[in-house]
Structure 1
């Protein structure tokens, strides 16, 4: 991305997708502090949790407590993951109206992840849409396994586009295209994002990439060039899907920010985010995977993005 081009928005997904595989629950206070630190730094959008059953995804157990602790202005930056109209209603009743309704393009993964086939999830979207719109909120249609499925292999791009163009979902505010396993290559990402963007120019396309095969940043950058307005990333490259064997960390938020250089990002705010990332990964006992964060701790102190040693 160049300074003259449109810079994509980062949505930080640390507190949802980033925590899913850790098996550890961050306290409500810790999550609230992280949301506020991200907003203070300049991050415009945050995925703060999910309505998944806590017995299945324990790190999400206190999501509604986090929602309750945040102000209305803070919640305006935040999205919550849901998979059923009942979860949508609970989230809206709790006070959050930016809803990410997720289903998998692959029936096999949708059954493993949500417990039903893709068409059943899709048929419930209009009800979810109506609940959100009645509350004055926004809703995204999130398409997991848009490139490959851990059970069925390659996913036909036309199946993805058929769902994106489905009349039942064409009025969704955003469409989220997910490389759940991180197995896509840039040519595939560019082609599918461009086609998805063409289906409805009034909604945003979000690209959710993983770095399992080392192409998270490359895929995200070509997605932005192809029309994605928002890129998902997690601090330290945390994350993955507990119901998708072979899925590992998200594309690192630090790496995406260093690559795209939004106007609000300065060496100082970047250092703050690196330190936030380090504190979270340390608390979780997770190995940080961000290359940009590693570079920021190098000895090349003439480079302004390196964090000075004290």
Structure 2
């Protein structure tokens, strides 16, 4: 039992998404700056990195260099790199570039699906099988990210049953894993647990991860609720950088350093060194040229906590 007397897993697998979700709202960076950022991120000990997105350069100019980034990944052996795609064309590009581990976004909310991908949810789901076949044929995997799993900036609250139906259809179509996305940072711990329970009952045996935004300050609380509910795969972004360009108000992701900080205090292993994440945040801040939103980073960092002070 850990110091907080919480029932938590022994280890959690954190996926660093700063290279993709973190940078997609930024002005395009020189390749050298991106690679310096990636080198600093890999030095943290993180095992999984969402490294780029193979989408239209017109839609997301900051990630127009996806092929160039992919060509440099051989420099970082031992890291599980993945890329986000929005359609089968993007999947072909990713596989051809040597990144067979794919994340495909399907919005549970129809209006966000049309804003994000130019087609409705049903049409997006229809492509899961083709994208899964491309990934599996290249020796990779497919994770379907269910965006607006809780709320949509256009349609309002997403019915729980609709998100469950989308998740079930994605698995039926060939997805190896699911990730539930709080695209605009509006969910709360109770809603997190309810949806996780419903999705896992509908998709038994399928790994389910979570992707939270800290738009309204509940991101880390939601992460704790998810981990308490048994989730062991969480997304986070160095410095809290990021947001969705197709969802008004979708500000930064939960910060990797903040997630690692409280998990370490709860004696949950991430394999990630906090000091190295703070160093990566500094590299990232220099690259993007503006302050990062992470409270821990802005506070000047902190040593790994040793647990609460107990009365003698």
TM surpasses 0.5: yes
SS of equivalent residue, structure 1 residue 232: strand
**Structure 1 residues 297, 255: CA separation in 2 closer, same or farther (over 3 Å shift)?**
closer
SS of equivalent residue, structure 2 residue 71: helix
SS of equivalent residue, structure 2 residue 43: helix
CA–CA distance in structure 2, aligned partners of residues 222 and 36 of structure 1: 31
Q: CA offset at residue 74 of structure 1? A: 3.6
**Structure 1 residues 75, 264: CA separation in 2 closer, same or farther (over 3 Å shift)?**
closer
Q: Deviations over 1:17-36 (max 9, x none)?
A: 111222x1222233233333
Matched, 1:234 2:240: no
**Structure 1 residues 271, 131: CA separation in 2 closer, same or farther (over 3 Å shift)?**
same
CA–CA distance in structure 2, aligned partners of residues 64 and 75 of structure 1: 20
Match of 1:120 among 120, 123, 131: 123
The residue aligned with 1:263 is 269
Segments ≥4 residues shifted beyond 3 Å: 1-4, 72-76, 167-171, 262-266, 294-298, 303-306
**Structure 1 residues 39, 202: CA separation in 2 closer, same or farther (over 3 Å shift)?**
farther
8 A Cα contact 2:143 2:178, kept in partner: yes
The residue aligned with 2:309 is none
Moved more, 53-62 or 175-184: 53-62
Q: Tell me how large the CA RMSD over aligned residues is.
A: 2.2
The residue aligned with 2:310 is none
Q: CA offset at residue 72 of structure 1? A: 8.0
8 A Cα contact 2:278 2:301, kept in partner: no
Structure 2 length normalisation: TM-score?
A: 0.89
Q: Pairwise mapping of residues 44-123 of structure 1 onto structure 2 (< 5 A)? A: 44-71=47-74, 74=77, 76-123=79-126
CA–CA distance in structure 2, aligned partners of residues 207 and 103 of structure 1: 14
Q: CA offset at residue 265 of structure 1? A: 5.1
Structure 2 regions of 5+ residues with no counterpart?
307-312
CA–CA distance in structure 1, aligned partners of residues 196 and 187 of structure 2: 12
SS of equivalent residue, structure 1 residue 100: strand
**Structure 1 residues 153, 55: CA separation in 2 closer, same or farther (over 3 Å shift)?**
same
